[in-house]
Amino acid sequence: MELAQLKEAVIAGDMARTKSLTEEALEAGIEPASILNDALISGMDKVGELFKVNEIYVPEVLLAAKSMQNAMGVLKPRLVDSGIQPRGKIVVGTVRGDLHDIGKNLVAMMLEGAGFEIIDLGNDVPAEKFVEAAVENDAGVIGMSALLTTTMHVMKETVEMLGEKGLSDKVKTMIGGAPVTASFASEIGAAGYGDDAATAVDLAKEFLEG
């Protein structure tokens, strides 16, 4: 059993094979953390890279992410047994008035793939709901997605609300979506901007692990 094969299966988006190879790897006595990091996560990393340069498109990424999720179903109980903690909690959602959720879902899947615990609020999420969910779940990051120029202001509202509640240091905001830019992020005081899902993972690592 080679972890390289499992990694390839993730990249290829082969759901059945990803799951069966994960089971085989566990049976072969490979450490759950190693299966996660060296095959599943590193496979998703590669997928993120390929997507960035348009070698693959949304369908391939979705299939890879689903394969990863399939494997996680098998792996999660074993990870918990071996005492591995998730890397930290992240609240994600598409902002109020916006129903575009494909990009947000990709970001959530990649973050999950990287080992973070995701609280996905779905789409059409108002500022107060982002803030509430972060407080309730003790999440260190809020990731917001907007695809409409007309809904980007909700990101500003969320950042401001965190400020008013004195939570700006405790809860970092990262934002993204096609019309969103790095300059908009700095203008509204968001902690980070990412133009793709791989960057979302980098930002989350930076915010939660320093």
Partner 1 sequence: MSMDLLELVNSRPILGDGAMGSILQERGFKSGDCPEAWNLDRPEAILEIHQAYRDAGCDYVETNTFGASTIKLARYGLDAKVDEIVAAGVDLARRAAGDTCLVGASIGPTGALLEPYGDHTRDQLAEAFGRAATVLEREGVDFYLIETMSDLNEAALAIAAVKEVSKKPVAATMSFTKGAKGHRTMMGTSPQEAGIELIKAGADLVGTNCCSGPEAAAEIITEMAQSTPLAVIAQPNAGLPELKDGRASYPESPEAMAEGAGNLLACGARVIGGCCGTTPAHMASMGSVIKGR
Rounded distance, CA 67 to CA 155, Å?
Answer: 31
Binding residues for partner 1, rule: CB under 8 A, are 15, 53-54, 56-60, 62-63, 66, 96-99, 102, 124, 148-153, 179, 184
Neighbours of 117 (CB within 10 A): 14
**Total residues binding ligand B12 (CB under 6 A):** 30
Instruction: Tell me the sheet residues that pair with 91.
Output: 119, 142
Strand partners, 142: 91, 173
Q: Does 104 bind ligand B12 (CB under 6 A)?
A: yes
Q: Of these partners, partner 1, ligand B12, none, which one is at the site of residue 62 (CB under 5 to 8 Å by kind)?
A: partner 1
Decide whether 6 or 190 has the Cβ nearer to ligand B12. Answer: 190
Residue numbers 79-98 binding ligand B12 by CB under 6 A: 97-98
> What is the sign of the dihedral through the CA atoms of 183, 184, 187 and 188?
negative
Indicate if the alpha-carbon torsion angle 154, 158, 160, 165 is positive or negative: positive
- CB contact at 8 A, 110 and 66: no
- How many Cβ atoms sit within 10 Å of the Cβ of residue 12? 16
User: By CB under 6 A, is residue 100 in contact with ligand B12?
Assistant: yes
Residue by residue, DSSP assigns 99-136 as ---HHHHHHHHHHHHTT-EEEE--SSB-HHHHHHHHHH
- Closer CB to ligand B12, 4 or 170, in the complex: 170
Choose, by CB under 6 A, the member of 9, 71, 175, 188 that binds ligand B12.
175
Query: Nearest distance from residue 99's CB to partner 1, in Å?
Result: 6
Q: Which is nearer to ligand B12, 71 or 106 (CB)?
A: 106
Q: How far is the CB of 65 from ligand B12 (least distance, A)?
A: 11
CA atoms of 72 and 68, how far apart (whole Å):
6
Closer residue to ligand B12 (CB): 4 or 102: 102
Among 28, 102, 186, 187, binds ligand B12 (CB under 6 A): 102
Residue number, 4 or 99, with CB nearest to partner 1: 99
Report the run of H or E that residue 180 belongs to, with start and end. Answer: none
How many CB atoms lie under 10 A from the CB of residue 7? 22
Q: Which of 15, 30, 139, 174 binds ligand B12 (CB under 6 A)?
A: 174
Is 78 or 153 the residue whose CB approaches partner 1 more closely? 153
- Sort residue 126 into left (φ over 0), alpha (ψ -120 to 50) or beta: beta
| Interacting residues with ligand B12 (CB under 6 A) | 58, 97-104, 106-107, 143-145, 147-150, 174-179, 194-197, 199-200
